[in-house]
Amino acid sequence: MEKILTSRAVAVSEFKRAPNEIVAEANGEPIAVLTNNRPSFYVIPASTYESLMEVLYDLESAPLLEKRLADYRAGKEKVIKVKLDSKKV
């Protein structure tokens, strides 16, 4: 048997009948959708997915930012100073 990586699971036939209700009842938690008692796919609400994408973006950006900071500290990068005028949009 495959491991189910969520605390919530639902049969695919039940999920097909009322997907929005099932997602709403999960309160943001992931749901395993099962076929023959095995996970076929996982479902998460759009807001949870958006949060996940923000975290992944930060994780992908962090090494680049760390490299640029190290290059700046080593004198390899120049800083361009800018002044933002809050009156203009």
Distances (CA, A) of 14 to 23, 33, 36, 49: 12, 9, 13, 22
Judge whether residue 62 has pLDDT over 70: yes
pTM above 0.85, yes or no: no
DSSP tag of 27? T
Note the pLDDT tens digit of each residue in 63-82. 888 888 898 889 888 777 77
Residue 42: phi, psi to the nearest 5?
Answer: -115, 145
